[in-house]
Chain A
Amino acid sequence: MTSMKKVFIACMTLSIVFLLAACGNGDSQADGKTEIEFFNQKKEMQTTLQEIIKDFEEENPDITVKFTNVPDAGTVLKTRISSGDIPDIINIYPQNADFQAWANSDIFTDLTGKDYLNNLTEGAAEAYAINDKVYSVPLTSNAWGFFYNVDKFEELNLEVPKTWDDFEQLIKDIQGKEETPFALSLTQEDAWTLNGYHQLAWATTNGGYEGANNALVFSPKGSIKVGNADFDAVADQLDLLNGTGQKNATGASYEDAIATFANQEALILPNGTWALPAVQNQNPEFEIGMFAYPGQEEGQELTVGAADLALSIAMDSENQEAAEKFVEYMTSKEAMQKYYDVDGSPTSVTSVDTEGKFSETAGVTQYVFTDQQIVWLQKDWTSEETFHHLTVEYVNSQDRDQLATNLNNFFDTMK
């Protein structure tokens, strides 16, 4: 009994001391340096960004950068912005609905006409302008396409498809040679992996970004129907994924699909350029290549992609000048060369030397910043996740009526 009492008293003392200590604990900003917070969403690049920040701090001894990396960054950012606690510099994807809503309500600083925007490919920043104002500095771009096993393709005399018909034939040939065409993850959780496929199906059948969104989101309510030429064509293209994946594809996670491809159990991995490091982590014993989503005719290949590393500055930030200095530094060759050499996504910073690097993804990245790249269609949507889910649901079920209903349910709320 007495030991219980002792434990109890110890506990209470500890709690009280701790709570008191915590209450008296104010912010300490002793050394007179300006501190800016950089909120990062690209966790894969944490180490490299840390190095770049170090370089920056050496060049600007009066500024310290607080580098914030959190798990589940999207959720955290949303709650932080809605409670008015906005980081000075944010790595945020300017094609997403969140960004656009925030830009519209003056969360970000207007960067239109800043000198350092000239360090980027012409029009790169303007592509994401909201009401003709630039709120985001896009530094790299991702791109979606098909990874393939170059060695196996050579061994089996297979060729990269140039048209959609070629592609269908290719899949038949692969199956004819007793190989599995696709490494897929057809679960609701990892449904995002096929987002690019479904979007490109709409874009190639409807002549690009505008055509696709005119059919999907700028059409009257309930107008997506079985029997519409474009709907049927899209559904046909989605059908190519049914039954052509590895065994267990319906329950496979993103990592499982990567492992299947890397272990040569399937020859094609539909995914974005971001998957390359994960594939390489598996030490594949073959050469990796990529090809873009084929169109109806040769030369109509498309890729979908948008800003990957893109920086915005908070309007509320008390350190506008320091924040801008950092953003400006990020558009320099010194910073972005370091970044590019690790990440490999096409960069909009023109001074970066990209010659002959990252040949694995070149088959897709060659189209980035050309008119054969479209921006992710969700730029004009209010959300996207349901779209991922319904894509996978259709691939698994082949129920076209349900697909049409799901698409209408999803887009009708935005119309």
Chain B
Amino acid sequence: MKRKGSILSYLFLGIGFILIFIPLYMTVISSFKETYQITGDFFGLPNPFTLGNFQRILSDGITQYFFNSTLISVISICLITFFIPMAAFSIARNISKNKAFALMYSFLILGIFVPFQVIMIPITTMMTKLGLSNIPGLIILYLAYAVPQTLFLYVGYIKTGVPAELDEAAEIDGCGKFKMYFSIAFPLMKPMHATALIINALWIWNDFLLPLLILNKDSSNWTLPLFQYNYQGQYFNDFGPSFASYVVGIVVILIVYLIFQKSIISGMTSGSVK
């Protein structure tokens, strides 16, 4: 009985793995092909096998774009992890006592379902006028647009994961709210930090449209997705180097996931009260 169950599990997981593996395999294989072979024989093995695409992206300065993307992602994530849980904590604690916070909560999360394309033109105009068409401007926008979804997730988590009794206990110890938040509540949200980090990192690392609109002037400011996309002209797509740069992007984000995977899964185990 038990044996049968585990064979079934392997079968199920194995089939799923193949489904997952094929597109990933295609990406890696394509990065070792010449462009004409990718277009002409997409499913074939690399023939001839070439490292030219990787040499090409190196000489086209991928390191600079890689650095920009890393910088933008890291700083945005830092700011997101600083400001949003804080606001979420305040809202979770005050929402039932104070109407103003209920109102602010709706105000903050209403943007969650609105497609970005809706505000694309006004926002670009505004950033230009404010002189923020640069990396700091982009980071500010990431922080702003991370608010609705991230805040929502944190508020939900705090309600169960950081019980209000802790506040009272801290107050008896003579702790102010600030100290209480930073030394007790913030560390307790660790699994949520890991989850929010992965969700936002995936989004920021792969985002194309926002950097395109904000960083379009000086190519030395570009992010990795802009660099990748730049190999695609209207009438001729240079797939070889694009795929090589996709592979580079994937490897990085996978490493980030491997680092934080444990925190998400094990963290929620230990931190859960009910």
Whether the complex brings A and B within 8 Å at their CB atoms is answered yes
Residue of A11, A12, A274, A283 near B36 (CB, 8 A) is A283
- The answer to whether B216 has its CB under 8 Å from any CB of chain A is yes
* A69: interface (CB < 8 Å): yes
A82 x B235 contact (CB < 8 A): no
Cα–Cα distance between A76 and B213 once the two chains are bound (Å): 6
- Once bound together, how far apart are the Cα atoms of A1 and B74, in whole Å? 20
Given contacts A4-B187, A12-B78, A14-B75, contact A85 B233 (CB under 8 A): no
Complex: A69 Cα to B232 Cα, angstroms:
12
Given A22-B136, A72-B212, A44 contacting B217 (CB threshold 8 A): no
- Quick check: is B236 within 8 A (CB to CB) of the other chain? yes
Q: Output the residue of B39, B120, B134, B219 with the most chain A CB within 10 A.
A: B39
Using CB atoms, name the residue of chain B closest to A77.
B216
Is B55 close to A, CB under 8 A?
no
| Residues B134 and A22 in contact, CB atoms below 8 Å apart | yes
Structural contact, A69 and B219, CB atoms closer than 8 A: yes
Chain B stretch 80-95: residues in CB contact (< 8 A) with chain A? 81-82
| Contact indicator A19/B74 (Cβ below 8 Å) | no
Docked complex Cα distance between A126 and B124 (Å): 34
Instruction: Note all chain A residues with C-beta closer than 8 A to B212.
Output: 70-72, 75-76
Q: Is the CB of A15 within 8 A of B78?
A: yes
Decide yes or no whether B125 CB sits under 8 A from chain A. yes
A262 and B71 alpha carbons, distance in the complex (Å)? 43
B234 is an interface residue with CB less than 8 A from chain A: yes
User: Quick check: is B200 within 8 A (CB to CB) of the other chain?
Assistant: no
User: A11 to B82, alpha carbons, bound, how many Å?
Assistant: 9
Q: How far is the CA of A167 from the CA of B248 in the complex (A)?
A: 49
- Map CB proximity to A onto B211-232 as digits: 1 under 8 Å, 0 otherwise: 0110011010000001001101
CA distance A76 to B234 in the complex (A): 14
Interface residues on B, range: 35 or more
Which of B35, B71, B74, B234 has a CB less than 8 Å from the CB of A281?
A: B35
Name B's interface SS.
Answer: helix
CB distance from B75 to the nearest CB of A (A): 5
Determine if B128 is an interface residue (Cβ-Cβ < 8 Å).
yes
Q: Which residue of B lies closest to A84 (CB)?
A: B128
For residue B77, which residue of chain A has the nearest CB?
A11
B133–chain A nearest beta-carbon distance, Å: 8
Q: Is B2 an interface residue (CB 8 A)?
A: no
Asked if residues A79 and B40 are in contact (CB atoms below 8 Å), the reply is no
**Measured between alpha carbons, how far is A203 from B40 in the docked complex, in Å?**
34
Q: Is B121 an interface residue (CB 8 A)?
A: yes
Pick from B121, B134, B217: contact of A68, CB below 8 A: B217
Q: Check if B250 is an interface residue, CB within 8 A of chain A.
A: no
* Contacts known (A71-B212, A72-B212, A85-B128); A282 close to B36, Cβ less than 8 A: yes
What residues of B have a CB within 8 angstroms of the CB of A43 in the complex? 230, 233-234
Contact residues, A28-83 vs B (CB, 8 A): 43-44, 68-72, 75-76, 79-80, 82-83
Q: In the docked arrangement, what's the CA distance between A8 and B128, Å?
A: 32
**A80-B216, A281-B35 are known contacts. Are A18 and B136 too (CB-CB below 8 A)?**
yes
Residue of B nearest to A17 (CB): B75
Q: Once the chains bind, are A15 and B236 in contact (CB under 8 Å)?
A: no
- Asked if B135 lies at the interface with its beta carbon under 8 angstroms from chain A, I say yes
Report yes or no: A274 in contact with B39, Cβ–Cβ below 8 A.
no
Question: Is the beta-carbon distance between B236 and A1 smaller than 8 angstroms?
Answer: no
Contacts A43-B233, A72-B229 aside, 12 further interface pairs with beta carbons under 8 A come to A11-B74, A14-B78, A18-B75, A23-B136, A70-B212, A70-B226, A71-B229, A76-B213, A83-B125, A84-B128, A259-B40, A278-B235
Q: Interface residues, chain A, CB within 8 Å of chain B?
A: 1, 4, 8, 11-12, 14-15, 18-19, 22-23, 43-44, 68-72, 75-76, 79-80, 82-85, 254-256, 258-259, 262-263, 272, 274-275, 277-278, 281-283
State the B residues within 8 Å of A (CB): 35-36, 39-40, 71, 74-75, 78-79, 81-82, 120-121, 124-125, 128-129, 133-136, 139, 187, 190, 212-213, 216-217, 219, 226, 229-230, 232-237, 239
What are 11 A-B pairs with beta-carbon distances under 8 A?
A: A18-B71, A22-B136, A43-B234, A44-B234, A70-B212, A70-B226, A71-B232, A83-B128, A84-B129, A85-B133, A255-B237
Q: Which 8 A-B residue pairings sit nearest by Cβ, starting from the closest?
A: A11-B78, A83-B125, A71-B229, A83-B128, A43-B233, A22-B136, A79-B124, A274-B235
